[in-house]
Structure 1
Amino acid sequence: GLDSQTGDFVDPVDALQKELEDVKKDDSIPDSDRKQLIEELTEAIKTTPPLEHRENIDIVKAHRAEIEQALQ
């Protein structure tokens, strides 16, 4: 989705994979919690459908303010 701060597009699967890598490296998370997070993120990666209509990303970015206002 679109980053709310920067407006940049981040592919959901890429974001989940980055989070998975971060969780794997984070030693501050207890092992049992880390294992559960890894399982959940792995499942989320498997079940997240591929992005369709990438050509719409630029259109959405161009009209982001109007879209957000309409959703309020």
Structure 2
Amino acid sequence: MFTFMKEILDKFLSFLLQILPTSPFAPLIDNLEQLPYLGYINYFVPVGTCVKIGEAWLAAIALFYLWSVVARWIKLIE
């Protein structure tokens, strides 16, 4: 049953990715790879780590708001 649910989820997500447009930032990110000094900047400012921390923070905020909506819906809080 788990594999069946996984297949359904995979099909739904692949369908959703086909419908949604590609990222408008992809060409900009590709152009950043051509900068010769980007590696030196990244040595002093760990951009990858900052992005990971930002993603975790946004996920936590999104979960908080989702839980808040669900709690209001089932009348746990007002």
**TM class by shorter-chain length?**
0.3 to 0.5
* Larger gyration radius, structure 1 or structure 2: 2
TM-score in terms of structure 2 length: 0.34
| Larger relative contact order (Cα-Cα within 8 Å, sequence gap ≥ 6) | 1
Higher relative helix content: 2
